[in-house]
Amino acid sequence: MTRRDLFLRHLAKACLAIALGLAGTLSAAVAAQARSYHHYVEGNPAGTAPDKVSGGLLLMGGGDRNLDAMRWFFAKAGHGHIVILRATQQGQIGKEFYREVGGILSAETFVTRDRSAADDARLQDALRHADGIFLSGGDQGNYVRRWKGTPIAAIIDAHVAAGKPLGGTSAGLAMLGEKLYGCMDGISQTSGPALAAPFGPSNTIEDDFLHLALLKGVITDTHFKERDRLGRLFAFVAKAQVGWPGDRMPLIGLGVDESASLAVEPDGSARIFATAPDGGAWLVQGDALRLPVTSGPLDVAGIRVIGIGHASRLFLPEGRVENPAFVRDYAVSKGVMQRPVDVVG
């Protein structure tokens, strides 16, 4: 065989390899495009958690993440594999968890594009093998439409029931209670309109999404103090109790400040981590908001609100607070919030 023949043979092999590589790349791109989610990985998801995994809930108000709170959550996950779920944006939060906070084997992010993602075997398998699951922020209406009544919700329930930690921030926290504000019209409620029409169609209360024992009888809210959301939480609690069984304790509203996180232990005891000295949480007792009238503006007195600060301990799901930051009684007259009264002793 001449040198020319050898050259042509090697050239043909090289061209074939390039063609096959391009075909493989194209096939992978087509397959990725066909998937109903985007997928991002930091670290090694195949590794085994080096430490013991234990249960817990991290309820984050939606602002900058407190490093001590994240380390608490990662320790609950045995410093192993964290799976992050969201419906918008990309894999930035996984990079933050793995590269900036650190102390975990991996962070794997799935950004679902539609409801069919919940039937994807790869996504389901990742969730089942997660040491910790974290629900990121975004639009909770997307989460209701894409995850409610799907294998994703069922796997999250099973994950928590198996004694593994679950965290959520902003919209991801809004999804965790037995009742939730779905924001299904895409227009986030503010306190004024919510108090003026608490039972109206804009107050889109959902249920039967997750079924977490520690948040049974609880509805959550986020970015709380920063966005003046106490009034809308009153409205959420009032509407969520329409048709509430008479033999059940009143619903509890739990609002978390943007600068704060509530770390809930498996026994239900919870404490505050915060990035600001005044960051905390607000507990609304729902007995006064269990109303016989389900139309018109909110008009009620005696709504007890308890502040949960750095020195406080909250016990869920009953809603007992030790060493509260404050105790106040609020009234709403014809949809207008009145000045609260501090309760002493």
Q: What is the mean pLDDT of residues 15-34?
A: 38
pLDDT band for position 2 (cuts 50, 70, 90): low
Name the amino acid, one letter, at 189: Q
> What sign does the CA torsion over 66, 56, 222, 230 have?
negative
For residue 3 the two structure tokens come to: 């040198």
Give the whole-angstrom CA distance, residue 116 versus residue 11: 45
Q: What CATH number is given for 37-176 in this structure?
A: 3.40.50.880
Strand pairing category for 165-169 and 56-60: parallel
Please, what is the Cα angle at 162 between 134 and 210, to 5 degrees? 55
Q: How confident is the model at residue 9 (pLDDT cuts 50, 70, 90)?
A: low
Q: Which residue has the higher pLDDT, 31 or 318?
A: 318
CA atoms 100, 101, 102, 104: torsion sign: negative
Length of the chain: 345
Does residue 19 have a pLDDT over 80? no
Q: Model confidence over 187-206: pLDDT tens digits? A: 999 999 999 999 999 999 99
**Do the beta carbons of residue 181 and residue 219 sit within 8 Å?**
yes
Each domain of the chain, given as residue ranges in start order, spans 37-176, 177-345
Tell me the average pLDDT across 18-39: 50
- The whole-angstrom distance between residue 140's C-alpha and the CA centroid of its chain comes to 9
Structure tokens at 222: 């986020």
Pairing label, strands 313-315, 320-322: antiparallel
Alpha carbon distance 249, 237 (integer Å): 13
Query: Which has more pLDDT, 183 or 9?
Result: 183
Residue 22 has pLDDT above 50, yes or no: no
pLDDT score recorded for residue 345: 61
pLDDT confidence bin for 15, thresholds 50/70/90? very low
Predicted pLDDT at 64: 84
Report, as an integer, the average pLDDT of 265-276: 97
Q: What percent of the chain has pLDDT over 90?
A: 87
